[in-house]
Structure 1
């Protein structure tokens, strides 16, 4: 306690030093805590409210070639669940937006259709009522029951305990409320919060429409996100090996549907779905970078403490001379360092809160129930305290050790002979700061170039000037024929609108966050190689879609109104599929079988366009006409030369003109949706730029501090040199030369580290080499210029030294 009181008095006696150190620490610890909070929110607690989530694994089918399929068919799910030696149980789900009607009000909310064992296997106990029963997974559409999330129950029903047994109207179907989930539980998709859960057999009522009526029998219809709980004593590796063996058995048993099918088993925090699948690379980079910033902060504070140790050298020597042990002195100095770090952590609390607010604003608006809300909870505060203790010991140990080893005779005489070791340590710390700062600057430069390149990547279509309006007719009870008629009339209403240049409908928005569908194809005359992946993604579109998105047709024609149910099957493939299946030949008139044995005629070849990600390799894709493959949920794409949002109200009015009950679920410019595809690059560039600039500033302060102290220590020597005839230019050259050697050492070390480590950024880079010479050279020159500036200020002061004044003090 005496050490603590003395440490506090020492910090109070030096308010300038204390303020600089505390603010620097607040920045470093605050940034580190922000990164930790994001990692905790997205990865470590991706499924809050679930018991023993570390025993859960995502089971994602993949092709033997490595292509991830993500989802599983219902028959495969049941076969997998039968292997109880591997899994204590397996659950599956599919999410969907649903129309909720309460009285005269209708709103969109999000639900998951889940297997009956969903809550029991996840260990989520109902706060009210019950979970689902096994018999509620016995027949499609047979049990319209629903469990509410605790948050939804509180928000919409004010926590009414008599809610059990009441009816909710979802998509015009009556569902009985049977339970309320435990507080905190939001579902099994990281970063998404669902309000409702219904039995999987109610899938058609939650997500009406679609082209496969045998969804529970078709082994090739993969639509379920699947999670398994490992059986006691079974590791992830053991389960992965056993499931791979099982997949090979299915390869033989079901060659028509499961040939070359394998499974990826990963922990929940590495899930390919939801926020973890999108943010894992950038959060890994963010945490690593903030740790580097914290190391730079520690080096800076260590340098400040070394300077203070020089000023307190006589005090410490006296204490040692009168009997204090070196251990006692080290303990006292470390107490001061740790107290300083704790004060920095306290100041870092508002800094971290501000940084969290800032980073939340980086994410675009999407039509998904996204809940990404990192905050300073108990775990974050504990992390902050541990980080403070760790960094306090880190930056305090070297100065404390140096002080306790000082030469008593020299120190008591106030000599300068003991300064050599400390000067070397200070120089080493500054060189390390420069190296780390250069590493961050190079990373920031690479990510900025990557983001710029990502924005320049031609996605194969033009989203600028396009308004999107998402319409979901399935929830309004439209039959297939009624839905087709509605969309035909809607296009007729929208095409002549003032300002509308082109209009088309598409089931899937390219580069959007919701993904798309794919199916196995059998092209005419094409013999697949062994283990070749024969599934292609597709989109269902209307006439005018290609003109609206400005996707060129390289051969053939667009879909027309004549491509209806009575006409031969029409399909448009992209150029990649055409070259793959019929190299050197025209694809027009060729036949492709899809969805088993549905034969289609190629009527056009479109230029390739990006589907999911900007950095995805070029791959095959095809388009189907809406009149032949009806989808109840479509996106209006309307091109205009004006601001797209200026036509949003007009589009809503035209939709209501056809049916007052139908409202677009969301209306926004297409660029806001496609911005999702550059999310990783934008966040990485933003984070590294801010932290790189911070590192540059800290390096500037560190170099300036060391050189200023060097000049102060060498003032008598400089006075003698000038008295003997040295010019001011000679003094400038002397100090700048010393600083330049320090900077060159740090830059050389930083370049070596960058060459070894920037390859780890490959997951957040597109169109940029991880060892880009322009970035390496530019960052080195920038840091070198800053280092020379930091050296010039003390050097200029040294050149103005009055020789007589300096010698008098000596």
Structure 2
């Protein structure tokens, strides 16, 4: 301990003698450690931290899927697994919904979770006030009850301690509050919900009869028995799936290709996010390695200037191990201070990520600076200190004692090994930074291609909002139709409004699907028919969205419930089922409807699975032939869309003063939101690569500047013996360009191997895109040439007479 304290005191004195170099080292390391701490905070929250339930590794997600897609769970499947399984302690289901909440404030639509009574006990989530649901309350005959989230209890009900037993109105139904969840209750596997209800067998858009006919709307989770593993559970699910097909041969999800499978709940939740987090983790590790190489280069320059001091200490009896220990102590001291600064930078970066990237981080994963993050920061600081300190320490430990002392106070020239070491560090920096720059270039190229994607409609001056009717107040289709027709008529008559329409869903978002049987296709059972997207729209939808018709006609006002069924198909549907033929006049059996629908038009494709995916086959039905209680209002304006919101709200209130309007946004915001995740990853990786480029260029400049400073006498002699200044310029630039070209060559080879991990996040480009692999190194070379030229120009201006004196 005495030796350690002595080394620390000596290290502090030594570092304070070179404040500018010490500050440069601290800032370089703090940025690298801070970036790693911030991204580790995300990785820890999303990938490492256990779910907030007892034995979370025993909780699985049970899904049914075929080769093409994943299907939601059905009531019949849930009841089969719940009643006949032997692998699970408990089975539960949930689905999200939106209901209108009235009373005690402005009417509003709130997100709710419909859960089976078994879910909260399974997860060991107990209410802060009140109780959990009883089994009787989770039946159609049970009385309407609800449990409030802590957030809505505090905001809407002002944390009323007597809330349990009171009545709230959900979709015009008096509902008794039986509990309030604690503030720390989190459900990372489901969207945010303000209210929980045990009526999982209901859905605001479906009748109970339709739900029992095989509609896949439920999400199923289960807790494994202690002696059962997931392999055994899946074997049993295979048998239960076979039993389901035998008992329900006509169900839509009874196709032979549909299978049930249990997977880890965490894997199911974070599966889509994991590749992005790993990409960011790799990027910040590269930045830290570059920072370490940069700092090692700076310390090696400083160490070479201390060769005489080290030689003197060795001559006085200091052993090699003592010298290495002292130099490593100085490095660890720098790393400790930089790590402390890095934690602060990481905390600030994490706060920024929580705000700026909130939509990209799954719900229920709070970004907190906990003990694991602090332990990681300490560990990475220690490893960083060893990484950047060991090379200069070993270089100095091999100092030539006699040669150094014979210099008699003159500045010793750089040893060949020191020169090679510094050049090697610069080559490593360049190679690593080039890998990051190429990754950023690939993401930028992918994003630029995504920006050019035509969504299939005109987003400018288009306003969207969600209008969800109470299924109690507007229980009959005629009531829903009358409400929306009245609203559309009123809004269309307002000044500044060009047209208005409604649709069941918005473009670029998840669609409802249904099995179809098209003319010319083999007549197979319902469960074996292909599924296509289905959309209910009002007559002026194509005009409002500015989606062109390729043939046929749009819907008319007389395409109502009393008229023969009609549909409009998109181009993909027409090509898929009637290639080379006219689709107009063909017929399609939609779902369980007994009468085939007549195709009256073919519309251009609209992106119905997001911008990054090709459009799938899609059917449009008249809203009056397929009414929904939850519709999206679309308004094409002549004025700025947000300026029309107040007038639109007023017209809806004129029809029903208790009807809330939610999710108001422009179509441009909708399109922009679909690009948010690739933009998020691109900007972060781009920021890290820019940092890496700066560090690498500083490394090139620093090495050459130091080399020029040490070789001033050599350059003066060369000039005195007749060399011209151009020769000096070429000599220094050659030295720099050898390092740069070596780094670029190494970086290209590394990039070819590593960028393949980006394949899953690239759009319409490959991980070996030739344009990126040519342009990025070329631009890097241009910047590096400039960094090389500055010290070379300084070498060229050396005055021989002054230098020789």
TM-score with structure 2 length normalisation?
0.92
Is 1:544 the counterpart of 2:543 in the alignment?
A: no
Moved more, 789-798 or 75-84: 75-84
Residue of structure 2 in register with 1:223 after alignment: 217
For residues 651-703 of structure 1, what are the alpha-carbon distances to aligned partners after superposition, in whole Å with 9 as ceiling and x for unaligned? 11111111111131132211212222212221122112212211111111111
Decide whether the 8 Å contact of 1:410 with 1:418 is kept in 2.
no
Residue of structure 2 in register with 1:67 after alignment: 69
Is 1:387 the counterpart of 2:373 in the alignment?
A: no
Is 1:518 the counterpart of 2:522 in the alignment?
A: no
Counterpart-to-counterpart distance in 2, 1:510 and 1:365: 19
Residue of structure 2 in register with 1:621 after alignment: 618
Q: Secondary structure at the match of 1:376?
A: coil
Decide whether the 8 Å contact of 2:516 with 2:529 is kept in 1.
no
Decide whether the 8 Å contact of 1:33 with 1:384 is kept in 2.
yes
Counterpart-to-counterpart distance in 2, 1:371 and 1:605: 43
Counterpart-to-counterpart distance in 1, 2:390 and 2:529: 58
Displacement, 1:357? 4.3
Is 1:178 the counterpart of 2:178 in the alignment?
A: yes
Decide whether the 8 Å contact of 1:4 with 1:336 is kept in 2.
yes
Displacement, 1:175? 2.1
Counterpart-to-counterpart distance in 1, 2:86 and 2:418: 63
For residues 430-451 of structure 1, what are the alpha-carbon distances to aligned partners after superposition, in whole Å with 9 as ceiling and x for unaligned? 1111111111111222212222
Displacement, 1:402? 2.3
Counterpart-to-counterpart distance in 2, 1:517 and 1:475: 19
Q: CA RMSD in A?
A: 2.8
Is 1:501 the counterpart of 2:498 in the alignment?
A: yes
Q: 1:348 aligns with which of 342, 345, 357?
A: 342
Residue of structure 2 in register with 1:764 after alignment: 761
Unaligned residue ranges in structure 1 (runs of 5+) = none
Residue of structure 2 in register with 1:56 after alignment: 59
Within a 5 Å distance, the mapping from 1:151-190 to structure 2 comes to: 151-189=151-189
Within a 5 Å distance, the mapping from 1:307-706 to structure 2 comes to: 307-362=301-356, 374-414=367-407, 416=412, 419-474=415-470, 477-479=473-475, 480-512=477-509, 515-527=510-522, 534-599=530-595, 600-706=597-703
Moved more, 558-567 or 381-390: 381-390
Q: Secondary structure at the match of 2:204?
A: coil
Counterpart-to-counterpart distance in 2, 1:308 and 1:369: 47
TM-score with structure 1 length normalisation?
0.92
Displacement, 1:256? 2.9
Residue of structure 2 in register with 1:801 after alignment: 798
Displacement, 1:412? 3.6
Q: Secondary structure at the match of 1:304?
A: helix
Q: Secondary structure at the match of 1:580?
A: helix
Residue of structure 1 in register with 2:35 after alignment: 31
Q: Secondary structure at the match of 2:165?
A: coil
Residue of structure 2 in register with 1:199 after alignment: 198
Residue of structure 2 in register with 1:13 after alignment: 17
For residues 726-759 of structure 1, what are the alpha-carbon distances to aligned partners after superposition, in whole Å with 9 as ceiling and x for unaligned? 1110000000001101100111111112222222
Moved more, 690-699 or 338-347: 338-347
For residues 750-804 of structure 1, what are the alpha-carbon distances to aligned partners after superposition, in whole Å with 9 as ceiling and x for unaligned? 1112222222212222122322222222211111111111111111111122224
Shift of the 467–216 alpha-carbon distance from structure 1 to 2, 3 Å rule, reads closer
Counterpart-to-counterpart distance in 2, 1:435 and 1:42: 30
Decide whether the 8 Å contact of 2:60 with 2:265 is kept in 1.
yes
Counterpart-to-counterpart distance in 2, 1:418 and 1:787: 23
Displacement, 1:132? 1.9
- How many residues end up aligned between the 2 structures? 792
Counterpart-to-counterpart distance in 2, 1:357 and 1:475: 41
Counterpart-to-counterpart distance in 2, 1:123 and 1:772: 50
Shift of the 666–619 alpha-carbon distance from structure 1 to 2, 3 Å rule, reads closer
Residue of structure 1 in register with 2:718 after alignment: 721
Displacement, 1:636? 0.8
Counterpart-to-counterpart distance in 1, 2:82 and 2:403: 78
Is 1:288 the counterpart of 2:288 in the alignment?
A: no
Moved more, 242-251 or 261-270: 242-251
Counterpart-to-counterpart distance in 1, 2:637 and 2:661: 19
